[in-house]
Amino acid sequence: MIYHKVLVVGGGLAGMRAAIAVSEHYTNVALLTKIYPVRSHSGAAQGGINGALCNNPRGLHDSCERHGFDTIKGSDFLADQKASMLLTAEAPKRIRELEHWGCPFDRTEEGKIAQRPFGGAGFPRTCYAADKTGHVILHVLYEQLVKHEIKTYNEWMVTKLVVEDGICRGVIAMELLTGKLHPIMAEAVIFTTGGSGRSYGVTTNARTSTGLGMAIPYMEGIPLKDMEFVQFHPTTLVGSNILMTEGCRGEGGYLKNKLGERFMQKYAPDFMELAPRDIVSRCITTEILEGRGFDNSYVHLDLTHLGAHKIITRLPGIREICINFKGIDPITQPIPIQPGMHYFMGGIDCNIDCATDVPGFYAAGECACVSVHGANRLGGNSLLETVVFGAIAGEKAVKYIEGKKDARKGEKALNSALEQQESKINNLLNNQGKEKMPDITKEMSETMLKKVGVFRKKDELKAALDKIKELIQRYKNLGLLNKNRKCNQELMWALELEGNLLVDETVVAGALVREESRGSHSRTDFPKRDDKNWLKHTVATYSSDGVKLSYKEVDTSIYEPVERKY
């Protein structure tokens, strides 16, 4: 049986940062990842990472407290305020840490880290490396992973979290090359597995973002929180839906409808294109629905007035993507864009220490819900969340281990879980069912996009919930074409599809019950925010009969909720 003091599951930014934090205290830490770490979806983050460094001349009066308030306001006051303030207070330290590790941030003329404006921010506080910020931070952290000689299980996939008597004992993981299942005992387990973007047919997310990392603890009784809050990024490239970074607008890009109007003037006259993402997504969708979009499906992101030098130096990745995937050059042509699903504000329910209700089990990054984003995340805060709470998760896991008296326990539970998972995999491979995975996947993603999108209403949400429940039942009759265990991607996708469906059920159920509009959750039949009845977190708990919903209070101990205006 494999044993580690701490096992980190997920090889993106949050996972690597957590493993590095643990390695400063214990050498027996390991990172397990479905794909090679530098291929993580964290690398797709383009625009930047937020922190009140006050390096931009327009941001000289910025502060961590102002950053915190912008984050809380951006969340539509559903974020837990002490958690948000911790995030922003840690920001300068973590950004400078990345700088000292070699992160090649863009610079001001004085040699300081450059900062650009981003949506919903009162000051320019987004630090960036051209438009490839996530990519460069990913490689910087991987260098630290190598430096600390951290054991890495590449192309391994967790299939079950093992909990015995309410305490986390480890995981069961599949070695994808061989198809063999392995029990891994750990005194603490940290999940950093990312989001569930492939639930939607139009998404910026990689195909690896399937939500299984949320579903695995959910099936073990660990709740998911605020899952109805799904962010749509306002600017994705029509066709492929590749992200067109918020940095495009931060550098001065315009949004225009088919009439040539900068239509954000009508909706957010003070912030214009740099209003928060939920607002800009709704404005673009409204323009399209009211007939002012091109081909009734998109608007233009216009960078042509920025000039070739700025685009080539500040947005080289965007230009490359536009040329390669759309055959247009943004130096001379506007970019056709539409909103696309981008990020889950909700996730595994955990506290400000990244700890869950199960001792020894922690979560950080997009799969977690510490609740720093509430109902809507500000651009630039996701990369920040990974390095801040990745480090915190690792540090708190170390502290937990130091106080434990039952080290190396749980072998019987792990062996029992291994037998159960062997049976599950064999049944899935041998099932002669008539349902095909592409059919279920297509119906799921179309349902989520059409009925649980930028705008929502009761009858569509009810239909979506019925459909997802139907697909969960049909999944039980799934038949796979590939019966081999070795390198069986169809088997991997089938396991992930179960996770997608269970996560989707929590999203739709929470959205149906929440009869208000708040942040990314916009109900056309309940267009106003309702603090009296809905200033609370939704908590989704698994049962064999379907999701069960309950609620938790929101921490509003610092700022009184007010109307959100831009």
Residues designated catalytic:
233, 249
- How far is residue 188's CA from residue 22's CA, in Å, rounded to a whole number? 11
DSSP code at position 456 = B
Report the phi/psi class of residue 561: left, alpha or beta, with left for phi > 0 and alpha for psi in -120 to 50. Answer: beta
- How far is residue 85's CA from residue 537's CA, in Å, rounded to a whole number? 18
Of 510, 505, 500, 499, the residue nearest 545 (C-alpha) = 505
Query: Could you please report the per-residue DSSP string of 160-218?
Result: EEEEETTEEEEEEEEETTTTEEEEEEEEEEEE-----GGGSSSBSS-TT--SHHHHHHH
143-148: long-range contacts, CB 8 A cutoff, minimum separation 24? 143/101, 143/102, 144/16, 144/20, 144/101, 145/16, 145/19, 145/20, 145/31, 145/37, 148/19, 148/20, 148/23, 148/24
